Amino acid sequence: MRKKVIAGNWKMNKVLSEANAFVEEVAEKAKINDSVETIVCAPYPYLASLVEKAKGSQVKISAQNMHFEENGAFTGEVSPVMLSDLGVTHVVLGHSERREYFAETDETVNKKTHAAFNHDLTPIVCVGETLEQREANETMNHVGNQVTKALEGLSNEQVAETIVAYEPIWAIGTGKTASSEDANEVCSHIRNVIKDITSDETAEKVVIQYGGSVKPANIKELLSQSDIDGALVGGASLEADSFLQLVEAGTK
């Protein structure tokens, strides 16, 4: 049985005092429960502080990106060694905003996925189609390719540990959620693609999240689907109250 994974991606929001207060509140109120994992994906400057605030609680701290190299002349970048050293446990890779504005490619996502596993970080690999691709019936092909390329060269054990986040780009921050059936159809396809490149047993273990205008009003319906195991949430993760409602919905 796969656990539910609720991850809040703050993107480029909050100042340190707000970040600390949020994690303190969620750490105190989110009940420790084996059926749900609670992750906060925060900007780099807050990670060290948030890891401390989250200690002993249900909350895990994730970065929103990283470089694939361990160190070197890459001004402005942050390495997997640094994240792991801070006690960060997860890292978001290949978010559509990184792909669109920062030239992230399937190749760099794959390098980063390997780097994450080399440094005990769990990758949350984002995939998803544009509106044009959806209207041209290219969703399955495009998303399947993104998944295949991101996971290339990983062992079956590593694939089983990877979190895949399916985020249709047209649903991000727009208030338009994919219907739970449509979202589930793509998530099932992702699981089938993973079956083809690994094994049935491996694919059954992979946590697949949906992301795109998830909020307390639609989370239950999404989580009731056969292949949706959690959510990667932007806007509705910015307030502790609404994030806690999402975590609660994932708790059995």
Ligand X SMILES: O=C[C@H](O)COP(=O)(O)O
Active site residues: 95, 167
Residue closer to ligand X by CB (options 124, 194) is 124
76 Rama sector, left if φ>0, alpha if ψ -120 to 50, beta otherwise? left
From the CB of 172, what's the least distance to ligand X, in Å?
4
From the CB of 196, what's the least distance to ligand X, in Å?
27
From the CB of 243, what's the least distance to ligand X, in Å?
11
From the CB of 58, what's the least distance to ligand X, in Å?
20
Element (H, E) at 242: helix 240-250
Q: What are phi and psi of 173, to 5 degrees?
A: 65, 15
Residue closer to ligand X by CB (options 8, 144) is 8
Q: Which stretch binds ligand X (CB under 6 A): 12-20, 184-192, 197-205, 228-236?
A: 228-236
Of 45, 58, 124, the closest CA to residue 86 belongs to: 45
Q: Is 234 in the site for ligand X (CB under 6 A)?
A: yes
- Collect all residues with Cβ–Cβ distance below 8 Å to 125 and sequence separation of at least 6: 93, 94, 109, 113, 147, 150, 151, 162, 163, 164, 165
Among 94, 211, 230, 250, binds ligand X (CB under 6 A): 211
Among 50, 88, 193, 233, binds ligand X (CB under 6 A): 233
- Collect all residues with Cβ–Cβ distance below 8 Å to 40 and sequence separation of at least 6: 7, 8, 10, 22, 23, 26, 50, 54, 59, 60, 61, 62, 237
For ligand X, how many residues bind (rule: CB under 6 A)?
14
Q: Which stretch binds ligand X (CB under 6 A): 115-123, 180-188, 198-206, 210-218?
A: 210-218
Q: How far is CA 105 from CA 34, 45, 165, 201, in A?
A: 34, 25, 16, 29
Does the annotation list 234 as a binding residue? yes
Q: Is 62 in the site for ligand X (CB under 6 A)?
A: no
Q: SS3 of 218, please?
A: coil
Among 122, 133, 213, 218, binds ligand X (CB under 6 A): 213
From the CB of 28, what's the least distance to ligand X, in Å?
24
Residues numbered 76 to 105 that lie near ligand X (CB under 6 A) are: 95
| Other CB atoms within 10 Å distance of the CB of residue 186 | 24
Residues numbered 148 to 187 that lie near ligand X (CB under 6 A) are: 167, 172-173
Q: Is 212 in the site for ligand X (CB under 6 A)?
A: yes
Of 226, 225, 216, the closest CA to residue 6 belongs to: 216
Contact footprint for ligand X (CB under 6 A): 9, 95, 167, 172-173, 211-214, 232-236
